[in-house]
Amino acid sequence: MTISREGTNLDPWYGHYAERTAGLSASEVRALFAVASRPEVVSLAGGMPAVSALPLDTVAASMERVMTERGPAALQYGSGQGTPELREHILEIMALEGIRAGVDDVVVTTGSQQALDLVAKLFLNPGDVVIAESPSYVGAMGIFRSYQSEVAHVPMDDDGMIPHALTERIASLRAAGRSIKLLYLIPNFHNPAGVTLSAERRLEILDIARKNDILIIEDNPYGLLWFDRPAPQAMRSVDDEGIVYLGSFSKTFAPGFRVGWALAPHAIREKLVLAAESAILSPSSLNQMIISDYLDRADWRGQVDVFRGLYRERRDAMLDALDHYLPDLTWTVPNGGFYVWLTLPSGLDSKGMLPRAVKELVAYTPGTAFYADGSGREALRLAFCYPEADQVREGVRRLATVVRSETEL
Ligand code: PMP
C-alpha cells in the first residue's frame, strides 16, 4: 500500500480522505464546550438542557424495571424504524402540537441530529442548495456541508423567516441555475435566534414551498417548552405531504438517551428506514424501552411544566440583566426554548471578543457559528438554559463589562 503524503498535513492519510470531508470542521460550539466547562466560567454558550431537574429516581426506576422485566429484549437489536410502543407515545406527544399521523409514519432515530443527517443523505447531491433561516442551527449546517451542499440564508425578523425574502431567494437561485432541494426551518423558539415563526407566515411559507416544489424540514425540538403562550400549531399539522417533521426527547426529557424521530410522508419514510438501517441497524432498544416506561409511568407532562417554569425563570433573569447592564443594545425576546440573540454595537466582533470574555469568566457563542456565509460578527447567541438564574444574571453582568471595555477601545 502506498501512503500519500501530499500537502503539508502531518496526517499520513491526508491524501486519502473523501472530498466530502472538506466540509468537516470542529464547530465553534464544540471548541467552546471545553473552555466553558471550567466551573468558574458562567457558560451562556452551549444549549445543554437542565437535566438535574429531572426526577432521577423515577428515571432510575424505569431503567431498573426495563432490565428486570424485559432485559433480553432491551439488550437485543430491534426494528430499524423503532419500537411500535415508543412510536405510539411519539404520536401522543406530536398531537399536543396539532399533528395527526399513523404509527407507521414515524421513524425513531439516534437524536433528531441523526434524522437530519438521514434526510440530508437522501436528498443532497454535491452542489445542491438548502435554504435556511439567517442565522441557522450550526449542527444542521454542518450536516448539509458534509454532503457538499450549500446553505442559502433567508432573513428573519421577530416573526421568523420573511416570506417575500424567501420567494426572492428562490427566484434568484433558480435564475442562477441552482438546484434547491430543502427548506430547513426551526419554527419554534429558534436556535440561535430565539424567535418564533408566526401562524400566518407558516401558511405563507408552506404555500411558497408547495408552489416551488421544495421539501420542508420542520425541526422542532423546543416546541413544548413555551413560556407565555403556546407556539402556533406545527406546520406539519396542516400539510402531510411536503414536510419531514423532526422531534426529539433531548429537551423535554434527556439528551443522554440520544432518541429523536422523523415523521415523513410515506415514500420518504420508506427510504429513511432503509438509510437508518444501513447507518445503525436499529436505534437503541434499551433507551427506547426506558423512555416508553418513563412516559407510561411518570408524570412527564408535569415534568415538561417543571422545565418550562425553570427555563422561563432563567429567560426572565437574562432579559432583566440585559435591560439593566446593556440597555443600549438590542436582543430578541424568546417565548420559549433556550436562546436569546444579542446584537452588538456596530464595529464589535463577537468572535474576536470571546477570549476577552473567557478571561472575564463568561462564555457565549459567536454569531459567525450560525451563518454559512461568514456573516454574524456583530451578533452572538446567549443560552439561558443551563446556569441557574443568579448565574445567568452574573454572566450577563460580566459580558457587559467586556462589551463596555471593547467599545471604549
Ligand atoms: N435541531 C436543533 C434546532 C437543535 O437545537 C438540536 C440540539 N441542539 C438538534 C436539532 C439536535 O438534537 P438531538 O439530536 O439531541 O435530538
If you measure from the C-alpha of residue 128 to the centroid of ligand 1, how many angstroms do you get, rounded to a whole number? 23
CA of 113 relative to ligand 1 center, distance in Å: 6
Distance separating alpha carbons of residues 67 and 160, to the nearest angstrom: 45
Rounded-to-integer distance, Cα 87 and Cα 269, Å = 14
Per-residue pLDDT of the chain (409 residues; tens, 9 = 90+): 444 445 556 889 989 999 988 877 776 656 666 776 788 999 999 899 999 999 999 999 999 999 999 999 999 999 999 999 999 999 999 999 999 999 999 999 999 999 999 999 999 999 999 999 999 999 999 999 999 999 999 999 999 999 999 999 999 999 999 999 999 999 999 999 999 999 999 999 999 999 999 999 999 999 999 999 999 999 999 999 999 999 999 999 999 999 999 999 999 999 999 999 999 999 999 999 999 999 999 999 999 999 999 999 999 999 999 999 999 999 999 999 999 999 999 999 999 999 999 999 999 999 999 999 989 999 999 999 999 999 999 999 999 999 999 887 6
CA angle 50, 55, 59 (to 5 degrees): 105
Q: Which residue's alpha carbon is at the smallest distance from atom 8 of ligand 1? A: 47
Q: What pTM does this model have?
A: 0.95
Taking the centre of ligand 1 as the mean of its atom positions, its distance from the CA of residue 12, in whole angstroms, is: 34
Ligand 1, pocket-test mutation among 109, 137, 222, 341, most atoms within 8 A of CB: 137
Q: Ligand 1: residues within 6 Å at CB? A: 47, 111-113, 137, 139, 186, 191, 219, 221, 248, 250, 255, 260
d(CA 242, CA 287): 30
3-class SS letters over the chain? CCCCCCCCCCCCCHHHCCHHHHHCCCCHHHHHHHHHCCCCCEECCCCCCCHHHCCHHHHHHHHHHHHHHHHHHHCCCCCCCCCHHHHHHHHHHHHCCCCCCCHHHEEEECHHHHHHHHHHHHHCCCCCEEEEEECCCHHHHHHHHHCCCEEEEEEEECCEECHHHHHHHHHHHHHCCCCEEEEEECCCCCCCCCCCCCHHHHHHHHHHHHHCCCEEEEECCCCCCECCCCCCCCHHHCCCCCEEEEEECCCCCCHHHCCEEEECCHHHHHHHHHHHHHHHCCCCHHHHHHHHHHHHHCCHHHHHHHHHHHHHHHHHHHHHHHHHHCCCCEECCCCECCEEEEECCCCCCHHHHHHHHHHCCEECEEHHHHCCCCCCCCEEEEECCCCCHHHHHHHHHHHHHHHHHHHHC
pLDDT of residue 7: 52
Cα(235)–Cα(242) distance, integer angstroms: 10
Contact in structure between 255 and 49 (CB atoms under 8 Å): yes
Distance of CA 373 to CAs 16, 28, 217, 220, 247, Å?
28, 15, 21, 24, 27
Ligand 1 centroid distance, CA of 346 (Å) = 31
Euclidean distance between the first and final Cα of the chain, in Å? 57
Position in ligand 1 atom list of the atom nearest CA 338: 5
CA angle 132, 138, 140 (to 5 degrees): 60
- Between helices 389-408 and 350-359, what is the axis angle to 10°? 120
Ligand 1 mean position to 47 CA, how many Å? 9
